[in-house]
Amino acid sequence: MDFSSKLLENAVYEISQLPGIGKRTALRLALHLLKQPKDQTSALSNSLLKLREEIKFCSNCHNISDVVLCEICANPKRDESIVCVVEDIRDVMAIENTGQYRGLYHVLGGRISPMEGVGPQNLTIDSLVNKSKEGIIKELIFALSSTMEGDTTNFYIYKQIEGMGLKTSTIARGIAVGDELEYADEVTLGRSILNRVPFENSLKLG
Amino acid sequence: MDFSSKLLENAVYEISQLPGIGKRTALRLALHLLKQPKDQTSALSNSLLKLREEIKFCSNCHNISDVVLCEICANPKRDESIVCVVEDIRDVMAIENTGQYRGLYHVLGGRISPMEGVGPQNLTIDSLVNKSKEGIIKELIFALSSTMEGDTTNFYIYKQIEGMGLKTSTIARGIAVGDELEYADEVTLGRSILNRVPFENSLKLG
């Protein structure tokens, strides 16, 4: 693309560095900002700068937080003996939205993926293993995505904490509520039959 | 969405103000920036701020430019008697890419659209009419999109410059090069028959 303005070219280049945004979309976004009041652009820029400069991570669960100990870890009503291991803050938000979980979290910051150059040392696994040694945690719930990388990460952590006497579990895989059986994939359907639950349980959940 | 951090919430809100970007995508972009070096975020923020603060519009054609008179208008080799009327800088870039046009441009900044609250006074139509009065321009090429708004804008300008003795034309509508006839819409195909060109012309263009 040939730009008539260096300023525009720079802005388009920087926007197009974001994932999933190409040069054309970047140009459309830049032109949109030019049509809006200057306040909008400065608010956007400042919020990004502030986010990147001032963000903190909870010292206990490594979740994004504005303070040293996040709201969830600081809440005395939460059960600190159960820890749900997740990839990132989006998973915490998703589980919190269900309102069904009263334990704490541990945010890994990704999953082991040699293809993308992410090894165990890039994640917060050491911190999880150290926490587990303290004896407060009784159960770890693995809630990583069920991909090869997710399974590898689960297994790596499982090996690290083996022999500490912790209960480990993974979230149930099965047919989504409201889904039709005929469209489910075989692996999911197979697991949902093997891991069937007493009918009375589903009555209780409504 | 419940955020564990006000900083993150603000950034997601500001990003989601951009067109075509929802809250989920905004969160994904914000988390991406957090994983990248701080330089990337500051480069992005600064380029946006600089763009919005320092951008200029060419005093002649209203195209985006870093200087008072844009490169195209300042080029003595361009034919200033022909002016191509377009909606925005993307159209200028598209036509410049063809390498077929040696005249100047006039960037309207949009098209007349009462539905979106855009009237003739919001565009650079007055400036175009004033330029036309000076007698240097011999031909106006309307290259707006062929929608109701585009046609309305063409017609409005046409009425304003009526009687000034200017030649007016619109870019040819027809079947795109490489397209199959059977998939073309009726209006386009109809126009391409009515506005057929001598076969020798297509031989010259190769």
Tens of pLDDT along chain A (206 residues) come to 778 888 999 999 999 999 999 999 999 999 999 988 999 999 999 999 999 999 889 999 999 988 889 989 999 999 999 999 999 889 999 999 888 899 999 999 999 999 989 999 999 999 999 999 998 999 999 999 888 999 999 999 999 998 898 999 998 888 888 888 888 888 888 888 888 888 777 777 65
Task: Evaluate whether B59 touches B68 at the Cβ level (below 8 Å).
Answer: yes
Distance in angstroms (rounded) separating the CA atoms of residues B1 and A188? 28
| Angstroms from A196 CA to nearest CA on chain B | 32
Which residues 89-118 on chain A approach chain B with CB closer than 8 angstroms? 89-90, 92-93, 96-97
Which residues 22-41 on chain B approach chain A with CB closer than 8 angstroms? 25, 27-34, 38, 40-41
pLDDT for position B187: 85
Mean confidence (pLDDT) of chain B: 90
Decide if B48 and A17 are in contact by the 8 Å CB cutoff: no
Interface contact A63, partner B, CB < 8 A: yes
| Angstroms from B126 CA to nearest CA on chain A | 19
User: Which of A7, A41, A48 has its CB closest to that of B41?
Assistant: A48
Distances B78 to A175, B103, B166 between C-alpha atoms, Å: 66, 5, 19
Residue of A nearest to B52 (CA): A34
Distance in angstroms (rounded) separating the CA atoms of residues B47 and A81? 47
- Non-local (6+) Cβ contacts of A197 within 8 A are A172
Longest CA pairwise span in chain B (Å): 69
End-to-end CA distance of chain A: 57
pLDDT for position A194: 85
**B65 SS3 class:** strand
pLDDT for position A86: 94
How many contacts does A have with B, using Cβ atoms within 8 A? 170
- Angle at CA of residue A8, ends B41 and A18, nearest 5°: 35
Specify the higher pLDDT residue, B188 or A49: A49
Domains of chain A (ranges; CATH) run 6-54 (1.10.8.420), 64-171 (3.40.1360.10)
Mean pLDDT, residues B80-99 taken together? 91
pLDDT for position B205: 66
Q: Look at residues B134, B87, B56 and name the one whose alpha carbon lies nearest to residue A6.
A: B56
* Helices (H), ranges, chain B: 6-15, 23-35, 38-54, 71-74, 89-98, 125-133, 148-161, 186-194, 199-205
Say how far residue B126 (Cα) sits from the centre of its chain.
18
pLDDT for position A111: 92
ipTM greater than 0.95, yes or no? no
The length of chain B, given as a count of residues: 206
User: Is pLDDT of B206 > 70?
Assistant: no
Q: In this structure, what token pair is assigned to residue B75?
A: 């080029």
**A2 SS3 class:** coil
* Helices (H), ranges, chain A: 6-15, 23-35, 38-54, 71-74, 89-98, 125-133, 148-161, 186-194, 199-205
Decide if B64 and A34 are in contact by the 8 Å CB cutoff: yes
Other Cβ atoms less than 10 A from the Cβ of B38: the count is 12
Task: Evaluate whether A174 touches A191 at the Cβ level (below 8 Å).
Answer: yes
Mean pLDDT, residues B142-170 taken together? 91
pLDDT for position A107: 95
Decide if B8 and A34 are in contact by the 8 Å CB cutoff: no
pLDDT for position B14: 95
Decide if B51 and A93 are in contact by the 8 Å CB cutoff: no
- Non-local (6+) Cβ contacts of A150 within 8 A are A87, A111, A144
**Phi, psi of A90, deg, nearest 5:** -65, -35
AA identity, residue A198: P
Contacts of B66 in chain A (CB under 8 A): 4-7
| Angstroms from B185 CA to nearest CA on chain A | 26
**Phi, psi of A181, deg, nearest 5:** -60, -40
Contacts of B99 in chain A (CB under 8 A): none
Decide if B14 and A44 are in contact by the 8 Å CB cutoff: yes
- Non-local (6+) Cβ contacts of B39 within 8 A are none
pLDDT for position A200: 78
Residue identified by tokens 């260096």 is A6
